[in-house]
Amino acid sequence: MKRIFMGVAALVLWAGTALGQANEAIEDVIGSQLQAFNDRDVTEAFSYASPMIQGIFREPQNFGMMVERGYPMVWDNSDVRFLDLREEQGMILQRVMIKDAEGVIHTLEYAMIETPNGWQINGVALVAPDLAA
């Protein structure tokens, strides 16, 4: 029984360490994409999207148009704050608080995947205000 407990404890510590190491890389990817949108460099912003997202939109311009229309707080972002990073049902999720062009604060959840090219963004969802805390 003690051996099983020690094995579980080691696995939990390893998972926490692995997620902690990924934290900086994930924040860099999201921050770089947000900066690319502010710079209106949709080709650069598109490069941080996962293969699935790139396959859906096919061209950086299509992706940029979707973000501009569907996620204006991402298109014109400021005062970015990274909140919690967690693993849920096999997915790595990073919460991010972003201020839009009008100064309104939004909370988004980025689904991240690790690929041979590093961490990439596999989706973004707006978090309802009552769930953002």
DSSP 13-63: HHHHHHHHHHHHHHHHHHHHHHHHHHTT-HHHHHHTB-HHHHHHH-SHHHH
Cβ atoms of residues 35 and 68 within 8 Å: no
More confident residue, 76 or 23: 76
Confidence tier at 19 by pLDDT (50, 70, 90): low
Pick the CATH number of 2-131 from 3.10.450, 3.40.50, 3.30.70, 1.10.3470: 3.10.450
Residue of 62, 68, 96, 91 whose CA lies nearest to 81: 96
* Residue 59 dihedral angles phi and psi, to the nearest 5°: -130, 145
| 32: CB partners within 8 A, 6+ apart | 44, 48
Structure-derived torsion over alpha carbons of residues 128, 81, 61, 116, reported in degrees to the nearest 10: -100
* Domain limits, the chain: 2-131
Confidence tier at 21 by pLDDT (50, 70, 90): confident
Q: Residue 90: its pLDDT value, please?
A: 87
CA angle 88, 90, 91 (to 5 degrees): 65
Out of 5-9, 64-68, 83-87, 105-109, least confident range: 5-9
What rounded mean pLDDT belongs to the chain? Answer: 87
97-128 tens-digit pLDDT: 999 999 999 999 999 999 998 999 999 999 98
More confident residue, 31 or 22: 31
Q: Residue 113: its pLDDT value, please?
A: 96
To the question of pTM greater than 0.85 for the whole model, the response is no
